[in-house]
Amino acid sequence: MHVRTGISTTVAANNYKVMLRFQRTFGTAARTLSLSRPDYTNIHEPVSSLFTQPTTAAEWEQYALSASQVEEFNKTGFLASGVRVMSDEQVEILREELEQLYDRNHPSADLWYAFDCDVPTDDPRDNLFHSLGAWRLSPGFHDLCWSPALRMASYQLLGGPMSLLHDQLFCKPANDGGVVAWHQDFSYWTWTMPRAHLTCWIGLDDVTTESGCLWYVPGSHEWGLLPMTGLAGDMNSINDVLDSAQAEALDVTKVPAELPKGCCAFHHPLMLHGSYGNSSPNQRRATVVNMMREGVVSNCDGKDMGKFPTVPTGLPMAEHSPCYPPLLHGGSEEEALMAEAAGAARNVAAPLDLREFEKDMAELREREAATSYKHTH
């Protein structure tokens, strides 16, 4: 397993603790708006020193994927070789913040886009916990979106600057059978277009097949867009919309993404993935950062957006709501440094083209017609 270690992560974690102590003492002298009801939505840069940001191409280079990693992602639709995003100390800080986030009465609980368990429960730690929007409530989860390893690799894989769509928490208690059913992420994101998205999954515990790691079906990112068939409950509900060759490929070629805590896996928005229950005696916690290329526009009209802010259809997401912040600005000095650091080891993305989205939707309709399954979002 290839594991990269960013420099100075221990120093950064220590600085972060000092900063939090400073915040507690001096309140608004530190960057957060209110410590009694934290809301980081409008701060579109790191709010803490948890991650040290590179300032030269050489510093960015330590986080760069190799050309063969980029190639592997393009070929299989995922990269689970264990890119390190956080040190153990940084993971520990996020775990501490997570403990606060489980509180249904958190002072900023209204900022969650979703806060669910597969089976309703008083304490979210008791069942498979799935929530969206932690970056708005919590400084460490906020700053993780701007972490250098995540941004550098995402820039290389997406082939351009990117914005945040949303983040997620997926936490499984010890000895719990809750699954995340096989699905493609883009089935849930057709309220944005065209498809130019990327997912970064990061373990907050060491994850193994026993503890319910993520599984991928190599090459399934070339199967076209599939309907949503559910995220919890029945692991195999996706079989309702697969043809027999795909159902067999899922069965025979699926691979587990076992990873040490703090390391991540990247996957393509059409990658078929899911996770089985946790039969280990340890909890399995993970956080996910979902990104889109700069310039992706809204397709919200007529859709039930739940608690996600609506942007009028056709307008760029990042420019029209603070909830979809740029993580890397196109044409910035930072982008130039990252391009230099990546060298030839990066994708060159085609211009965003809404006809590509029409192709996705045509594939979806074809699949629905073939399987009498109705797309519901």
Ligand X SMILES: O=C(O)CCC(=O)C(=O)O
Is 180 an interacting residue with respect to ligand X (CB under 6 A)?
Answer: yes
Kindly report whether the peptide bond that precedes residue 120 is cis, defined as omega within 30 degrees of 0: no
Residue in the structure block whose two tokens are 């990693």: 69
Report the nearest approach of ligand X to the CB of residue 93 (Å): 20
Report the nearest approach of ligand X to the CB of residue 253 (Å): 18
Is 170 an interacting residue with respect to ligand X (CB under 6 A)?
Answer: yes
Is 199 an interacting residue with respect to ligand X (CB under 6 A)?
Answer: yes
- Coil vs helix vs strand at 273: strand
Is 141 an interacting residue with respect to ligand X (CB under 6 A)?
Answer: no
Is 9 an interacting residue with respect to ligand X (CB under 6 A)?
Answer: no
Size of residue set near ligand X by CB under 6 A? 10
Given CA atoms 281, 137, 259, 77 in this order, what sign does their dihedral have? Answer: positive
Q: Judged by CB, which is closer to ligand X: 20, or 196?
A: 196
Is 288 an interacting residue with respect to ligand X (CB under 6 A)?
Answer: yes
Residue from 204, 286, 291, 328 in contact with ligand X (CB under 6 A): 286
Report the nearest approach of ligand X to the CB of residue 151 (Å): 18
Residue in the structure block whose two tokens are 């067999």: 248
Q: Judged by CB, which is closer to ligand X: 151, or 284?
A: 284
Contact 232/144 with Cβ under 8 angstroms?
no
Report the nearest approach of ligand X to the CB of residue 308 (Å): 16
- Coil vs helix vs strand at 169: strand
Q: Judged by CB, which is closer to ligand X: 23, or 278?
A: 278
Is 275 an interacting residue with respect to ligand X (CB under 6 A)?
Answer: yes
Report the nearest approach of ligand X to the CB of residue 355 (Å): 26
Q: Judged by CB, which is closer to ligand X: 83, or 337?
A: 83
Report the nearest approach of ligand X to the CB of residue 213 (Å): 8
Report the nearest approach of ligand X to the CB of residue 153 (Å): 15
Report the nearest approach of ligand X to the CB of residue 14 (Å): 29
Report the nearest approach of ligand X to the CB of residue 180 (Å): 4
Is 129 an interacting residue with respect to ligand X (CB under 6 A)?
Answer: no
Amino acid code (one letter) for 352: L
Is 214 an interacting residue with respect to ligand X (CB under 6 A)?
Answer: yes
Is 143 an interacting residue with respect to ligand X (CB under 6 A)?
Answer: no
DSSP 188-220: G-TTEES--EEEEEEESS-B-TTTT-EEE-TTG
Is 185 an interacting residue with respect to ligand X (CB under 6 A)?
Answer: yes
Alpha helices by DSSP H, the chain: 9-26, 57-61, 67-76, 88-101, 134-137, 139-144, 148-158, 244-253, 317-320, 333-342, 354-371
Task: In whole angstroms, give the CA distance from residue 295 to residue 38.
Answer: 29
Distance from CA of residue 74 to its chain's centroid?
18
Is 134 an interacting residue with respect to ligand X (CB under 6 A)?
Answer: no
Is 297 an interacting residue with respect to ligand X (CB under 6 A)?
Answer: no
Phi, psi of 136 (to 5 degrees): -80, -20
Residue from 73, 135, 186, 201 in contact with ligand X (CB under 6 A): 201
Contacts with 83 (C-beta within 8 Å, 6 or more apart), sequence order: 2, 4, 65, 69, 149, 153, 263, 264, 266
108: alpha, beta or left, given left = phi > 0 and alpha = psi -120 to 50? alpha
Cα–Cα nearest to 148, from 344, 336, 327: 327
Report the nearest approach of ligand X to the CB of residue 87 (Å): 21
Is 98 an interacting residue with respect to ligand X (CB under 6 A)?
Answer: no
Phi, psi of 70 (to 5 degrees): -65, -40
Q: Judged by CB, which is closer to ligand X: 20, or 288?
A: 288
Is 204 an interacting residue with respect to ligand X (CB under 6 A)?
Answer: no
Task: In whole angstroms, give the CA distance from residue 315 to residue 99.
Answer: 37
List contacts with ligand X (CB under 6 A): 170, 180, 185, 199, 201, 214, 273, 275, 286, 288
